[in-house]
């Protein structure tokens, strides 16, 4: 666990806190309401996931708000100490406050994988460079392809997955405990590697390593001059990416497909604000594009009224209602036509 290295400056910043813990929570459903109340009382935004296997999520607030939330979580002996990492943002990167109940706190979709029972060997950030520079070590990035395109470690393997639940298939197809004696894995904050290293251990891989605290911890602790990280790090909030100083990076996000986009992508004829980008233009139907256009129109109206903070939610609601009315109108037309035919 670690506080932001720039705590002295947090009066002018929002603290973004990524946290998780694998622990058996048999009563996890009953934790939702008190946790949500605690977040709302301390003006904490973001999403936390609760499942029988633990807690996971990223939230943001003032220094005082985050401290209050962590103190509340650590009152539960099952969660204390909770693993967390912090960075700073000049603005609030989340729009809403949510606590969701899930089957898994990170979805791999393989039964029987339990990081509480078996997991890879943790490697501190200061020792990571030495490990991944060993020619006998296979270095695997467990994140999704769109995250890896933004940045990764030098010489790391990209499994080219679109979702974490595809990772087990990649392992079965490409990794062999007999041929790959040493495997080192990493992810954004560490949680996906808890499961990926547990998976490999269950499959008979003997030497399996895991970057403790993930990329975010590495960027915090390893000086840029010594770093083997290349590019920026994708994060699941409105910052989109962070650079080596854990400050908001240079990428934006497509509101249609949610993938990171560059300034060059925005110059493409396939880019339309809020509607499409080069990544999704050819995959979207005309109906989807029309819906996104309407959503963007409603968001622009919300911004013009000074309601930007709730614009997306308002837009989605308006578009949904119009779709329902349109569907009802079409159903009525079909019934009328059917009646005339009879």
Whether 280 is catalytic is: no
Calculate the alpha carbon distances from 9 to 14, 85, 91, 239, 329 in Å.
10, 17, 14, 19, 56
Please give the Cα distance from 214 to 307 (Å, whole number): 36
What the block records as the tokens of 60 is: 């943001």
> Is residue 120 within 8 Å of residue 137, measured between CB atoms?
no
Closest CA to 309 of 319, 296, 324, 299: 299
The residue behind tokens 């009382």 is 41
Chain Cα centroid distance, residue 39: 19
Please give the Cα distance from 122 to 110 (Å, whole number): 22
DSSP assigned state of 8: G
What the block records as the tokens of 139 is: 């270095």
> Is residue 191 within 8 Å of residue 56, measured between CB atoms?
yes
What the block records as the tokens of 227 is: 């770093």
Catalytic residue among 17, 187, 277, 280: 187
The DSSP string of 106-163 is S----TT--TTT---EEE-HHHHHHHHTSTTEEEEE-S-HHHHTTEEETT-B----SS
Please give the Cα distance from 45 to 15 (Å, whole number): 11
Contacts of 101 (CB under 8 A, 6+ apart): 28, 29, 32, 49, 50, 51
What the block records as the tokens of 129 is: 């460079």
Positions marked catalytic: 187
């Amino acid at each position: 666990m670690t506080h932001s290295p720039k705590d002295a400056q947090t009066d002018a910043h929002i603290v973004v806190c990524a946290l998780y813990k694998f622990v058996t929570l048999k009563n996890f459903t009953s934790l939702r309401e008190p946790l949500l109340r605690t977040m709302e009382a301390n003006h904490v935004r973001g999403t936390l996931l609760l499942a029988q296997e633990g807690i996971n999520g990223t939230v943001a607030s003032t220094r005082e708000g985050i401290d209050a939330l962590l103190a509340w979580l650590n009152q539960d002996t099952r969660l204390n100490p909770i693993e967390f990492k912090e960075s700073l943002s000049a603005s609030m990167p989340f729009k809403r406050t949510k606590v969701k109940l899930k089957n898994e706190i990170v979805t791999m979709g393989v039964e029987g994988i339990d990081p509480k029972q078996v997991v890879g060997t943790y490697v501190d950030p200061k020792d990571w460079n030495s490990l991944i520079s060993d020619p006998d070590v296979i270095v695997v990035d467990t994140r999704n392809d769109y995250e890896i395109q933004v940045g990764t470690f030098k010489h790391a393997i990209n499994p080219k997955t679109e979702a974490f639940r595809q990772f087990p298939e990649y392992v079965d197809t490409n990794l062999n405990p007999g041929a790959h004696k040493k495997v080192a894995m990493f992810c954004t904050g560490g949680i996906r590697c808890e499961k990926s290293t547990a998976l490999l251990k269950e499959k008979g891989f003997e030497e399996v390593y895991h970057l403790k605290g993930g990329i975010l911890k590495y960027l915090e602790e390893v000086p840029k001059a010594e770093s083997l990280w290349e590019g920026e790090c994708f994060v699941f909030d409105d910052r989109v990416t962070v650079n080596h100083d854990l400050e908001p990076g240079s990428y934006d996000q497509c509101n249609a497909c949610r993938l990171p986009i560059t300034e060059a992508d925005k110059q493409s004829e396939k880019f339309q604000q809020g509607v499409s980008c080069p990544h999704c233009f050819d995959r979207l139907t005309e109906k989807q594009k029309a819906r996104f256009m309407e959503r963007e129109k409603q968001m622009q109206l919300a911004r013009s009224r000074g309601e930007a903070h709730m614009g997306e939610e308002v837009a989605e609601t308006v578009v949904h209602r119009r779709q329902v009315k349109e569907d009802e109108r079409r159903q009525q037309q079909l019934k009328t036509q059917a009646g005339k035919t009879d």
